[in-house]
Structure 1
Amino acid sequence: MAKTTALPGVQPALLKWARESAHLSLDEVAGRLKKSVEEVDAWEQSGAQGPSYAQLEKMAYELYKRPLAIFFLPEPPAEPRPEAEFRALPDADLRDLSRETVLLIRRARAYQASLVELFDGRSPVSHPIWKQVQPTDYKSAQSAAAVVRERLSVPAPGDKEWGTADGDDALKVWRRAIEASGVFVFKDTFKQKEISGFCLAHPELPVVMINNSTTKTRQIFSLLHELTHILVGWRAISTFDEAPLKRLPPADQRIERYCNQLAAEILVPARDFAALVAGLPRNVESLSSDDFSALAERYRVSREVILRRFRDENRVSQAFYEERKREWDGQRVEKQGSGGNFYATKGAYLSEWLLSEVFARYGRRQITVDEAADLIGVKPKQVDELESRFLQGLAA
């Protein structure tokens, strides 16, 4: 067997930084490379030892998703760590984020960098919603939510403008309204299923990414929840489970609870809801899942949002809420078709505003196909087909 030769110039500190920033352990990397833990650890500790070129390529492109050249820098580049960048989750949970979630955060940062480049660091919206609405300026979440709905120009619950819109249609309505307010919305399939979404702060070009691996109605709440984070200046990664909330410092708990309350109020206005359920008994624990579904349908939200409304009004116990939530959580995964189309998926995952701007400039030949591909994160050969499908969707 030919002896592999260590590659000169690779910095041990860069190897350790790349592994840790991808949230991978020595054991995981050693297993993927079919090397001993001791050998991989030695690469990170000693300048006298290091990976071969082939091993470095695998580490860069398959494991850490980094450019090869980064390992030859004199020191690790400055990059925010999740526990320093985000709130709404305890530090221990942030340190335990999966590699896949960390890569999604990195992808969202790349999209945000594309937006900064395209719009010269300035919001394309003349009056971004987070500069118009400061929730703390209002006496209650109810009054703040009413202003948010007004600024988003979303039809009132039950309004005929909703027509027969299902969860998918309703998600599109909310998503377009939020993008029109200056917040860029992306989706992806989160392999770390308990993560519902996150937002990246920016004074002009904030980004939200939500988990597509769940029902459309659950995605709607995740989207509005991340919007409230942006409105209160709260950089956050969110989970479906409320348990991490209890491990936050008291001040952080108050902010996150307020965000939950505000998102619920935007989607299910208290006055409208009170009128709708006025005829129901004070304790509604006898209602069936179908009864909760019928209420949820009016607001195009999940049953859990309705149940949370009743819990906050002390019309169900915390124990009942948690029991039903566990039951419904087991049903929340969106049914997926077999296979799937790359272009349809990519078009649904990317911000509509980002795609529109990139393809407009590409069509005017202001940017090359390589530049367009780089801005939206696809291969150059995929740009034309993605553009065609995107324009067909707008015309439909």
Structure 2
Amino acid sequence: MKESVPVNSEVLRWARVSMNLSLEEVATRMKRGVQEIEDWERGRAFPSYVQLETLAYKIYKRPLALFFFPHPPEEGTIEQSFRTLPEYQLQRIPSRMHFLLRKATVLQLNLAELHDGANPATRGILHDLDFSPSIAADRMAEEVRDYLGIELSEQQDWRGTDDALEHWRNALEECGVFVFKDSFNPQGKKKPNAGDSPFSGFCLYHREFPVIYVNNNKPKSRQIFTLFHELAHLLMHTGGVDTRQDDYIEHLTGDDKRIEILCNRFAAEFLVPTRDFQIHSSGVIIDDHAIENLERRYWVSRETILRRLLDQGRVGREYYERKARQWRDERKGGDRGGGNYYRTKGIYLGERYIETVFNHYHRGRISVGQVADYLDVKTKNVPGMEEWLFERGARA
């Protein structure tokens, strides 16, 4: 008989009720008896780890770690988290996004536990900077760049988009913004495919533990844009989502519309400042070669460069949309590698978060089982995660 896992029975019942499922429906999907499911929810028995995985991922659509919480969490709704989106756009959000939103919420709760309710960063960008939705994007970009302390010349000296993404992620985390990544592909699609999801990322506002969640299936250059689109949302004290389906903006009104327009403009202005861009694009014949040169100057996506050219009137809307479609098609069927499990987990969670978890473990504050819960891995994979962390430190 497989070993049972002592989960919180109250959370098990809460997860079922929140999905509007009956005991009978869960029993049918688990191929178990109704009495056994009820026993799990009353704490008279526990599921095995494999059974818990089925409940968590396939039936309740929630992170595994949640079932070890002392109490059911207070989950925000999609509407509360992404209040700037209109109703019809909210209805487009797929189940995978709902799952990732719950996962991000669990990570926020983990952060609060690990750091005793206080952000560990020595300074907090959300505390120190304050903007209104009516601020000019260029002024906001200048203030944020000054705060981060990264000159444009330093950005241009980085070795490529991988290097740039790592620098930007570190810069935001040093200022109190937590960055996590994941696959936004539908469950079961293991291989990256940039065309699978129109969503590039989202953020959850919290005064102490703001989170940016990035779609790791997107090109690194697009991930960089997402970081700053979502940072703008956080600086407006609201959650948000980055999607290429931006037709919804015309349906927004008031501050919601101003914020969404500002987030796009800020990200573009921050990464590709207008004055510098005008100097280096002036008199240049716009073709693929010129766009690639400008892309490598700022380490952003070709779409971002093309959008700047569109805003300047250097290219037309038809050309912009045609090239954007072409590049998306080219990316389909790109990187199909399966990758290394520990490396992927490490990239998703980030070194800072993983190091914090292991620091707590080695100080005797948490057990190896709790380490597994915080990292959302099986206990047998904990040593491999620590080995990955050591290897990263040795290469640094």
Match of 1:266 in 2: 270
Q: Could you tell me which amino acid in structure 1 is paired with residue 306 of structure 2?
A: L
* Partners of 2:359 and 2:273 in 1: CA distance: 38
Match of 1:232 in 2: 236
* Partners of 2:85 and 2:372 in 1: CA distance: 34
Match of 2:261 in 1: 257
Structure 2 counterpart of 1:97, from 84, 93, 96: 93
Show the 5 A alignment for 1:147-166.
147-157=143-153, 159=154, 163=157, 165-166=159-160
* Partners of 2:111 and 2:83 in 1: CA distance: 23
Match of 1:182 in 2: 176
Change (3 A) 1:115 1:246: same
Confirm or deny: 8 A CA contact 2:123 2:174 kept in the other structure: no
Match of 2:4 in 1: none
* Partners of 1:34 and 1:131 in 2: CA distance: 47
| Counterpart secondary structure, 1:378 | coil
* Percent identity (aligned): 38
Match of 1:345 in 2: 344
Confirm or deny: 8 A CA contact 1:296 1:306 kept in the other structure: yes
Change (3 A) 1:333 1:61: closer
Confirm or deny: 8 A CA contact 2:15 2:60 kept in the other structure: no
User: 1:247: how far off?
Assistant: 2.9
User: 1:361: how far off?
Assistant: 2.0
Q: Could you tell me which amino acid in structure 2 is paired with residue 17 of structure 1?
A: S
Q: Deviations over 1:17-46 (max 9, x none)?
A: 3159xxxxxxxx99x9499xxxxxxxxxxx
Change (3 A) 1:333 1:251: farther
* Partners of 1:292 and 1:178 in 2: CA distance: 28
User: 1:129: how far off?
Assistant: 0.8
> More deviation in 318-327 or 211-220?
318-327
Match of 2:203 in 1: 199
Change (3 A) 1:382 1:77: closer
Q: Deviations over 1:195-223 (max 9, x none)?
A: 11010111111011010111111111011
Match of 1:42 in 2: none
Task: State yes or no: 1:324 paired with 2:323.
Answer: yes
Q: Deviations over 1:29-77 (max 9, x none)?
A: 99x9499xxxxxxxxxxxxxx9674799655552213599x99xxxx97
* Partners of 1:185 and 1:197 in 2: CA distance: 11
Structure 2 counterpart of 1:143, from 127, 135, 139: 139
Change (3 A) 1:278 1:162: closer
| Counterpart secondary structure, 1:256 | helix
Confirm or deny: 8 A CA contact 2:133 2:262 kept in the other structure: no
User: 1:391: how far off?
Assistant: 2.1
* Partners of 2:255 and 2:343 in 1: CA distance: 42
User: 1:252: how far off?
Assistant: 1.8
Change (3 A) 1:16 1:380: closer
Change (3 A) 1:13 1:137: closer
| Counterpart secondary structure, 1:348 | helix
Confirm or deny: 8 A CA contact 2:63 2:102 kept in the other structure: no
Match of 1:209 in 2: 213
Structure 2 counterpart of 1:168, from 145, 153, 162: 162
Q: Could you tell me which amino acid in structure 2 is paired with residue 134 of structure 1?
A: D
Structure 1 counterpart of 2:124, from 119, 125, 128: 128
User: 1:121: how far off?
Assistant: 1.5
> More deviation in 125-134 or 359-368?
359-368
Show the 5 A alignment for 1:234-249.
234-249=238-253
* Partners of 2:63 and 2:136 in 1: CA distance: 48
Structure 1 counterpart of 2:106, from 103, 106, 110: 110
User: 1:394: how far off?
Assistant: 2.1
Confirm or deny: 8 A CA contact 1:184 1:208 kept in the other structure: yes
User: 1:278: how far off?
Assistant: 2.2
* Partners of 2:58 and 2:130 in 1: CA distance: 43
Larger Rg: 1
Structure 1 counterpart of 2:76, from 59, 74, 80: 80
Match of 1:292 in 2: 291
Change (3 A) 1:128 1:66: closer
| Counterpart secondary structure, 2:213 | strand
Match of 2:18 in 1: 17
Show the 5 A alignment for 1:357-396.
357-396=356-395
The count of aligned residue pairs is 353
Change (3 A) 1:252 1:62: same
Change (3 A) 1:77 1:389: closer
* Partners of 1:293 and 1:353 in 2: CA distance: 33
Confirm or deny: 8 A CA contact 1:200 1:208 kept in the other structure: yes
Change (3 A) 1:208 1:252: same
> More deviation in 179-188 or 230-239?
230-239
User: 1:90: how far off?
Assistant: 2.0
